[in-house]
């Protein structure tokens, strides 16, 4: 059983009110999104910059326009962790084609149940109009503060319930109604839309670099509609703080059966249980929390070699299948969908299936925290861990979507306008990040498996392609003896996209059960929520950065490592074409 450090088990949070400078009074300020935890377990607040409310430079390649704050240096006095932060421009992995364009609403079709592959007896399509305008983000005269859902006041809960109740009372054909807002996710995620000009090729906003920008815009308009319905332009959605031990249960306000935000289609065994971000099935609460913090550290810091490992792979016009999810999407994001979805329902409704996820108000708080992870990753994580944080590929920046705004106006939005949450007028309550320094402890001795079990493990080349229906262990040749900066690449992963699938990857681990993730041997994960592709199957690859793992396990001088793959899903569904170790083409700066 894991033993949690006291500083994690007793995590504290701060007031939701942003710290402010006394003079001159700014229009809004940027609070710290977290408190650093010092070695002695104490907590300390840091100074803040004041942010100007002037209009930001619209050029996405301009990193420091006059008057725009570099938020990488918001936390003064942080030393090497933040003072050395730098957003390096990443090189697109392939030549540009054309960006994915906003769908044609008049060509919206029948959506598909991704768990069964059958067409849904459901119309996910929005109202159709020819009156489409390009959206311009209004000036943020007062910054919205999205609070932690576990910490909100009774007054906030009343306001939130009132807003959702009024949204649910709108006529179903009103694009602002709760049912129409829920259908947005169905239409964009369950195959109701085709890519414009690409025949019957599905449009899918998951499992690629569109994942974060699409959901950010989705929440943006949903939030503005709720605020308009109660006459409060400052209203902000709450985020489910599942990355913090104090937030690792469903927020209590969503369990009140009399409230407008209640939903009965949830896993009844998990209503008050600790979320299992690792989906290991471990029943020890302390171990589950420790696993969760390890998962967060791995997907946010340890396992990413470049921006695409976190954001997702490029998805361009004419892409037949989704190229691959980023670490956050395939990790904690997927785990929460599966954790909350109701196994009593045919396809895991509501949160466990894309077409129905938006029917649960908890979905929007879940994705607020997903969006918060993007914000943290962009501006507050150390650059020496993840040097590339920007994508300047025009096929990414110019991808577009359609939404109805709070005035029932159909608007076209682009990815490039979603890259700055402050420009969009909102920020997040600052809370502690206990996973920020939750690096697994170094193994006490050199990895014993290289001496005891390696000779019994078959060579990787004798097993692949491999159908992963059981725990599998094999030996992989390193790219170069002593090379610490390497990537483990699992390629040609062919999946049944209509199934929930997950497997974990361990290196030089002697435990085939592996329900404990808080150890140096844990390299990372692959997971997917069911989604639609034209042929029901998709092929992708994942990369797992090994730099810290090599350091923590003292295997740098070995010629080979032993990899263990542990499936968490039931039955087959994943075929892996090959596995290899390569040198990291984008090593962090020295």
Catalytic residues: 185, 206, 215, 333, 337, 354, 367
Q: Which long-range contacts (CB under 8 A, 24 or more apart) does 395-399 make?
A: 395/92, 395/96, 395/97, 395/98, 395/99, 395/100, 395/314, 395/316, 395/317, 396/99, 396/209, 396/314, 397/60, 397/99, 398/99, 399/99, 399/100, 399/101, 399/210, 399/213, 399/315
Give me 586's structure tokens.
Answer: 């984008």
64 annotated ligand binder: no
Concatenated DSSP letters of 279-322: ------HHHHHHHHHHHHHIIIIIT-SSHHHHH-----TT-SS-
Contact 90, 307 (CB under 8 A): yes
- From CA 587, how far away is CA 158, in angstroms rounded? 50
337 annotated ligand binder: yes
Assign 538 to helix, strand or coil: strand
- From CA 26, how far away is CA 140, in angstroms rounded? 12
The C-alpha angle 392, 395, 401, rounded to 5 degrees, equals 115
Q: Which helix (H) or strand (E) holds 367?
A: helix 361-379
Give me 416's structure tokens.
Answer: 């490039």
Identify which of 26, 21, 37, 51 has the alpha carbon closest to the alpha carbon of residue 427: 51
215 annotated ligand binder: yes
Cβ-Cβ contacts under 8 Å for 59 (sequence gap 6 or more): 65
Cβ count near 136 (within 10 Å):
10
Q: Which residue has the tokens 């999946």?
A: 495
- From CA 355, how far away is CA 440, in angstroms rounded? 37
333 annotated ligand binder: yes
Q: How far is CA 490 from the centre of its chain?
A: 20
45 annotated ligand binder: no
Check residue 107 and report its DSSP letter.
Answer: G
Beta bridge partners of 490: 542, 579
Identify which of 178, 169, 428, 438 has the alpha carbon closest to the alpha carbon of residue 289: 438
Using a 10 angstrom Cβ sphere, with 0-12 exposed, 13-18 middle and 19 or more buried, the burial of residue 80 is exposed
Contact 532, 189 (CB under 8 A): yes
Give me 11's structure tokens.
Answer: 């995590």
49 annotated ligand binder: no
Binding residues: 185, 206, 215, 333, 337, 367
Binding residues for Cu cation: 185, 206, 215, 333, 337, 367
């Amino acid at each position: 059983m894991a033993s949690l450090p006291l500083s994690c088990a007793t995590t504290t949070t701060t007031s939701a009110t942003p710290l402010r400078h006394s003079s001159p009074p700014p229009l809004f300020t940027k609070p710290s999104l977290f408190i650093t935890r010092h070695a002695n377990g104490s907590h300390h607040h840091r100074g803040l910059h004041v942010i100007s409310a002037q209009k930001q430079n619209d050029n996405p390649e301009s990193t420091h326009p006059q008057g725009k704050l570099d938020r990488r240096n918001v936390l003064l006095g942080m030393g090497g962790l933040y003072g050395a932060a730098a957003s390096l421009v990443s090189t697109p992995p392939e030549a540009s084609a054309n960006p994915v364009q906003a769908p044609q609403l008049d060509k919206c079709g029948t959506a598909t149940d991704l768990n069964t592959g059958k067409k849904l007896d459901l119309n996910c399509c929005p109202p159709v109009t020819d009156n489409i305008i390009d959206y311009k983000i209004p000036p943020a005269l007062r910054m919205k503060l999205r609070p932690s859902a576990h910490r909100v006041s009774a007054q906030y809960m009343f306001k939130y319930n009132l807003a959702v109740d009024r949204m649910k009372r709108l006529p179903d054909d009103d694009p602002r109604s709760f049912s129409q807002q829920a259908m947005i996710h169905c239409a964009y995620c369950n195959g109701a839309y085709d890519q414009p000009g690409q025949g019957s090729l599905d449009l899918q906003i998951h499992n690629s670099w569109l994942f974060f920008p699409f959901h950010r815009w989705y929440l943006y308009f949903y939030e503005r509609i709720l605020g308009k319905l109660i006459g409060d332009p400052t209203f902000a959605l709450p985020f489910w703080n599942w990355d913090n031990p104090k937030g690792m249960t469903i927020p209590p306000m969503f369990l009140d059966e009399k409230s407008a935000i209640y939903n009965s289609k949830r896993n009844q065994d998990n209503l008050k249980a600790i979320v299992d971000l690792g989906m290991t099935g471990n029943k020890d609460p302390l171990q589950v929390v420790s696993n969760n913090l390890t998962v967060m550290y791995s997907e946010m810091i340890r396992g990413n070699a470049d921006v695409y490992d976190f954001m997702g792979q490029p998805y361009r016009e004419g892409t037949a299948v989704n190229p691959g999810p980023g670490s956050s999407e395939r990790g904690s994001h997927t785990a929460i969908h599966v954790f909350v979805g109701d196994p009593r329902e045919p396809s895991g409704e509501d949160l466990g299936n894309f077409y129905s996820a938006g029917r649960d108000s908890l979905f929007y708080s879940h994705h607020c925290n997903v969006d918060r992870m993007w914000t943290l990753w962009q501006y507050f994580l150390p650059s020496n861990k993840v040097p590339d944080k920007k994508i300047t590929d025009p096929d990414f920046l110019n991808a577009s979507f359609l939404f109805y705004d709070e005035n029932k106006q159909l608007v076209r939005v682009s990815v490039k306008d979603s890259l700055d949450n402050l420009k969009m007028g909102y920020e997040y309550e600052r809370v502690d990040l206990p996973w920020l320094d939750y690096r697994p402890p170094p193994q006490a001795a050199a990895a014993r498996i290289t001496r005891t079990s390696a000779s019994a493990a078959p060579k990787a080349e004798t097993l692949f392609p491999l159908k992963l229906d059981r725990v599998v262990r094999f030996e992989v040749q390193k790219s170069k003896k002593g090379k610490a900066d390497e990537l483990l690449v699992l390629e040609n992963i062919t999946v049944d996209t209509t199934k929930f699938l997950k497997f974990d990857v361990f290196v030089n681990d002697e435990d085939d059960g592996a329900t404990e993730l808080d150890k140096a041997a844990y390299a990372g994960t692959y997971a997917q929520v069911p989604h639609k592709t034209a042929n029901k199957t998709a092929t992708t690859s994942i990369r797992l950065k090994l730099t810290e793992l090599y350091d923590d396990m003292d295997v740098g001088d070995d010629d080979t490592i032993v990899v263990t793959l542990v499936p968490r899903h039931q039955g087959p569904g994943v075929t892996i074409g090959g596995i290899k170790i390569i040198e990291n083409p984008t090593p962090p700066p020295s």
